Amino acid sequence: MIRIGVVGYGYWGPNLVRNFFECPDTQVAAVADMRQERLDLVTRRYPGLRLTTSYKDLLNDPSIDAVAISTPVTTHFPLAMEALRAGKHVLVEKPMAASTEEAERLIQEAERRNLVLMVDHTFVYTGAVRKIRELIDRGSLGNLYYYDSTRVNLGLFQHDVDVVWDLAVHDLSIMDFLLPEAPAAVSATGLSHVRGAAENIAYVTAFYDSPLIAHLSVNWLSPVKVRRTLIGGSKQMVVYDDTESSEKVKLYDKGITVKNGPESLYKLLVGYRSGDMYCPQIDVTEALRLEAQHFAECITTGKTPLTDGYSGLRVVSILEAASRSMKERGREVRLKTYAGSHPVCA
């Protein structure tokens, strides 16, 4: 049984506590939060659970095997580093750090101590995203042409990060899992409509060495909530709508065929193919439950997490480059190549 300490009981912390409670291989040993009113909520839901206002109490407890960190982005690095140095396995909320330098240091520390460092890229564990990965891996889509996502809603404005770090991080983690290669460069534009605040609307384009392009639209100023992704291939195309209660993934047998016309060697003919649409069956198990089980399995067996430190590093590197590009009005920023650009399915 893996004993877990959870740091942070704000927006996401309650979900972590609940799923680790329900996971047969883990036990929630304690919860830490600086705000007593948040700990009072824990007491009402889980009477008798050990609570503390200091995360150091968790790190100093030798009976705790791992720590799950659900706190603001700027605190991820110092908290995760202290936990690793205390000999704890770590699950850290996304993005895993505020810079690539911090992410690299966390990876090095975890590897040096032979500890599991896992990033909470929750969407990777959803049935919808895993089904799309399955379709891509078996060649159903053919050669990939584009990845286009829209993730918009009205608020909530964040005080410590811009809209790319808040919303695009989800789509970047999905891209990192789904696409067979990592982007080579990024360009981004964005604006802030609140004086002194970070960008609240942004457009991010990722360029690849192959004929593949990805585009992300994110903002906090939309009158409607949209969570839609289009993935186009030479054979078929996918529409993934996370706001759908059912039929989140739709596979369209639509596309184009291009060939030279017989009357001219240089004349191209474009044909349009329009076939059936079907909705594949997807696993409806809660993503965070699968993630909690996977974290415990990796600790027990030494298996590399599906969303390991390197996946977190690759996402942070794109976020960092996108923010830099926005400051320079869309200048293309080249990306460094990191290990393991296409994680292996669990």
H helices of 163-286, in order, are 163, 169-178
CATH number of 2-119+288-301: 3.40.50.720
Strand partners, 259: 269
Express each pLDDT in 130-169 by its tens digit.
999 999 999 999 999 999 999 999 877 777 789 999 999 9
Give phi and psi for 288, each to the nearest 5. -65, -30
Whole-number pLDDT of residue 161: 85
Task: For CA atoms 330, 169, 128, 125, give the dihedral sign.
Answer: positive
The CATH T-level fold of domain 124-285+314-334 is Dihydrodipicolinate Reductase; domain 2 (3.30.360)
- Contact between residue 187 and residue 226 where contact means Cβ atoms under 8 Å apart: no
Residues in the chain where the model's pLDDT stays below 70:
257-271, 273, 339-346
Please count the other Cβ atoms lying within 10 Å of the Cβ belonging to residue 37.
8
Give Cα 164 distance to the centre of its chain: 12
Express each pLDDT in 186-204 by its tens digit.
999 999 998 888 899 999 9
Strand partners, 151: 218, 227
Three-class DSSP category at 230 = strand
pTM of the model: 0.92
Whole-angstrom CA distances from 310 to 36, 100, 326, 335 are 35, 10, 24, 14
Whole-number pLDDT of residue 345: 41
Please count the other Cβ atoms lying within 10 Å of the Cβ belonging to residue 177.
22
Structure tokens, 222:
């939309």
Q: How far apart are CA 223 and CA 154, in angstroms?
A: 6
Express each pLDDT in 4-29 by its tens digit.
999 999 999 999 999 999 999 999 99
Domain parsing of the chain, residue ranges: 2-119+288-301, 124-285+314-334
Whole-number pLDDT of residue 344: 45
Whole-number pLDDT of residue 343: 47
- Contact between residue 290 and residue 125 where contact means Cβ atoms under 8 Å apart: yes
> For the chain, first and last CA: distance in Å?
21
- Contact between residue 13 and residue 6 where contact means Cβ atoms under 8 Å apart: yes
Whole-number pLDDT of residue 157: 75
Whole-number pLDDT of residue 265: 52
Give Cα 90 distance to the centre of its chain: 16
Whole-number pLDDT of residue 341: 46
